A and B are shown apart, each in its own frame.
Chain A
Amino acid sequence: MPPFLHIESMSKWYGQVIALNDIDFESDVPILGLLGPNGAGKSSLLKLLVGLSRPSRGKVEVFGLQPWQNHDLLAGLGYTPEHHKLYDRLTPIQFVSLLLQLSGYLSETAYDMAARAIEQLALGEKKDAPIHTLSHGMRQRVKLAQAIAHHPSWLVLDEPLTGMDPLGRNMTIEMVRRMAAEGTRVIVSSHVLHELEALTSDILLLNRGRLLAQGSVAEIRELIDEHPHRILIKSENIRSLGRELAGYDYVKRIEFEPGHLVVETDRPDDFYTMIGELAAGDDFIVHSMISLDDNLEAVFRYLVK
């Protein structure tokens, strides 16, 4: 049985722009998370997987088949693109029915399936409302409804949680996990680690078209924690605070700025514990603490050094 995903020496370029560069990986997990900042190549990779474009070089296979113009493979696909503009003049039920009919379902069957999917995503009251009247979060749910309505064997979700309200987020997460448990293979992309963390423990890390890392969320977190963290601290007496902090071996660097200092540490958990104890005492007044590197951009900068 071929693996769910097999990508071999794959590159994709558009003219002079290299969107993906020499990607190699194989995956057979139920839910695979694709993590990367904006412009990392996540959407480009997903478009290759769903047959919207072809690789410039190398091979892309899904269940051992190449997706490009493979209608049998696409018949089992549920795909939500990143952009949220849909047919504004259609209602959710019309939109989902249309796409089901494009998958070959007869119109009455398509309508019933669409209605069921819309109910499952708590859009029943809005099923006959024009899409342009719906909120961003509801539009995300409409997108998801068209992807899941035909019980696909594989799901590709490009930033599905962006802009969703908390109810929609929980619903999406539960639905994806349930579908994966029932055998649907899922690829979901995001630029926010904790979003993917709620869905899966298997991550691909992309940046600037390159595959940086593949592993579990815990391993990615370790990568994040390994790189030096920079923390901005506002305090009344930054000089004496700085002197105090300099005594700890996990404080690697201290920069003094007017009204605040920036500390660099390679053990952020220990640092936060320590600074909390200092702030609780009488010697130092800490007004605020901001992590300057608690984001993926910093991780990626670190990883590509």
Chain B
Amino acid sequence: MNTNQGQARVERLDYQPYDGPLEPLAGRFLVVAGHQLRLSRKDKWFRRLLWFSFFPLGIFAVMVIVQSKVEQIGNHGFNLWSPFWGAQIFSAILITYLCGRSTIGEDLRTGAASVYFARPVTLNGYLGGKWLSVFVPVLFVTLGPALLLISFRFAIEPGAGLLSFLRWLAGFLAASILLSAVMGAVMLAVSSLTRRARTAGFLWIGFIIGMSALANGLAKSFDDPIYTVISFTRASARLLAYLVEGKGSADMAAMDALSHIVWLVIGLGIVRFRIAAGKTRV
């Protein structure tokens, strides 16, 4: 077939105009999230950590058994949920590092952002998908083992009634969702600050350590534990203790929840600003 523009012979391109269904614009964030999760899945350390996060389950399952025996003979049990949650927070920090450090930075480095945004994808859809790609793994490593442990404890502990089970379930659900949400948001913000995934990873770890140090330092300096809400990991641990074990006060729990929300807003605000301001659009 000859074109009418010149002498080049062009092979039949076999195009077939498309008139089938299209996914709605509102659902494009799932494509972004799915793509990012598939990229994370290629990382062997990510896959290993997903399963490693269940490792504390074995230890705490043994503790549940021991506790149930202890309580049977009339002695008080020991604190179980807080150290368990501490272990899961540690896994959450690591999984966020692995899956979140290249969320925005990779797009900047490769110039993929320009290809993304030349498609019918909204900024919110892009950010929502990226955030979801961190939220889901973090939720998996926090809530997954928790669900198994509380189910196990409900099954074997004689004193654990349905109300206790529901309280544990609600507590872990709330704490996991809040923690996963804020870790996703803050990691996106960190990733948007640099084009190098490795640098973003270091910034993330540094941020977690620095945030905790600042919170502890201020709390000691002013002799007021309220300052520990600056650290959302500390706030998460304390919030869970309140929700699941009834420890602490409602006011403090409210402040802990607020800490999560504030960090969520800060994180999403930073990344949105970075992209909307054109600094991150290639």
Q: Can you sample 16 A-B contacts with CB below 8 Å? A: A47-B114, A51-B118, A52-B281, A71-B25, A74-B118, A74-B120, A87-B39, A89-B42, A101-B31, A104-B120, A106-B20, A106-B23, A151-B18, A174-B9, A177-B6, A177-B8
CB pair A81 B114 closer than 8 Å: yes
- Residue on A with the closest CB to B24? A104
CB pair A72 B120 closer than 8 Å: yes
CB pair A150 B28 closer than 8 Å: no
CB pair B21 A178 closer than 8 Å: no
B18 touches which of A89, A113, A175 (Cβ 8 Å): A113
Report chain B residues within 8 Å CB of A275: none
- Supposing A150-B18, A151-B17 touch, asked if A174 and B8 sit within 8 A by C-beta, the answer is yes
CB pair A102 B10 closer than 8 Å: no
What is the distance, in angstroms, from B242's C-beta to the closest C-beta of chain A? 42
The answer to whether the Cβ of A116 comes within 8 Å of any Cβ in the partner chain is: yes
A105 touches which of B4, B22, B111 (Cβ 8 Å): B22
CB pair B111 A83 closer than 8 Å: yes
CB pair B42 A99 closer than 8 Å: no
Interface hits, A85-110 → B, CB 8 Å: 85-90, 98-99, 101-106, 109
A109 touches which of B6, B11, B15, B20 (Cβ 8 Å): B20
Interface hits, A142-182 → B, CB 8 Å: 146, 150-151, 156, 170, 173-175, 177-182
Interface bits A66-85 vs B (CB < 8 Å: 1, else 0): 00010110110101010101
CB pair B3 A86 closer than 8 Å: no
- Supposing A175-B10, A177-B3 touch, asked if A87 and B278 sit within 8 A by C-beta, the answer is no
Report how far A103 CA is from B3 CA in the complex, Å.
29
CB pair A178 B3 closer than 8 Å: yes
Report how far A75 CA is from B117 CA in the complex, Å.
11
Report how far A101 CA is from B110 CA in the complex, Å.
19
CB pair A79 B120 closer than 8 Å: no
CB pair A88 B110 closer than 8 Å: yes
The answer to whether the Cβ of B32 comes within 8 Å of any Cβ in the partner chain is: yes
What is the distance, in angstroms, from A220's C-beta to the closest C-beta of chain B? 18
- Residue on A with the closest CB to B28? A102
CB pair A99 B22 closer than 8 Å: no
Report how far A86 CA is from B120 CA in the complex, Å.
19
B10 touches which of A50, A72, A104, A174 (Cβ 8 Å): A174
Interface bits A105-147 vs B (CB < 8 Å: 1, else 0): 1100100010010001000000000000000000000000010
- Supposing A52-B281, A102-B32 touch, asked if A146 and B115 sit within 8 A by C-beta, the answer is yes
The answer to whether the Cβ of B282 comes within 8 Å of any Cβ in the partner chain is: yes
What is the distance, in angstroms, from B13's C-beta to the closest C-beta of chain A? 6
Report chain B residues within 8 Å CB of A21: none
Give how many B residues have a beta carbon under 8 Å from the other chain's beta carbons. Answer: 43
Report chain B residues within 8 Å CB of A88: 110
CB pair A181 B3 closer than 8 Å: yes
A81 touches which of B17, B20, B106, B115 (Cβ 8 Å): B115
CB pair A102 B15 closer than 8 Å: no
The answer to whether the Cβ of A30 comes within 8 Å of any Cβ in the partner chain is: yes
Report chain B residues within 8 Å CB of A30: 5
Report chain B residues within 8 Å CB of A235: none
- Residue on A with the closest CB to B20? A109
Instruction: Give the 6 A-B residue pairs with the shortest CB-CB distance, closest first.
Output: A104-B22, A71-B120, A79-B118, A178-B10, A83-B111, A102-B119
Report chain A residues within 8 Å CB of B111: 81, 83, 85-86
Report chain B residues within 8 Å CB of A177: 3, 5-6, 8, 10
Report how far A72 CA is from B25 CA in the complex, Å.
10
Report chain B residues within 8 Å CB of A150: 18
What is the distance, in angstroms, from A113's C-beta to the closest C-beta of chain B? 7
Report how far A79 CA is from B111 CA in the complex, Å.
13
The answer to whether the Cβ of A214 comes within 8 Å of any Cβ in the partner chain is: no
12 additional A-B pairs beyond A177-B6, A182-B15, beta carbons within 8 Å, are A14-B278, A47-B114, A51-B118, A52-B117, A71-B25, A74-B120, A77-B119, A102-B32, A106-B23, A113-B18, A156-B118, A174-B10
Report chain A residues within 8 Å CB of B106: 87
Interface bits B243-282 vs A (CB < 8 Å: 1, else 0): 0000000000000000000000000000000000010011
CB pair B4 A181 closer than 8 Å: yes
CB pair A180 B5 closer than 8 Å: yes
Report how far A83 CA is from B110 CA in the complex, Å.
8
The answer to whether the Cβ of A53 comes within 8 Å of any Cβ in the partner chain is: yes
Report chain B residues within 8 Å CB of A113: 18
Report chain B residues within 8 Å CB of A86: 110-112
- Residue on A with the closest CB to B30? A101
The answer to whether the Cβ of B234 comes within 8 Å of any Cβ in the partner chain is: no
CB pair B118 A52 closer than 8 Å: yes
Report chain B residues within 8 Å CB of A53: 278, 281
CB pair B21 A51 closer than 8 Å: no
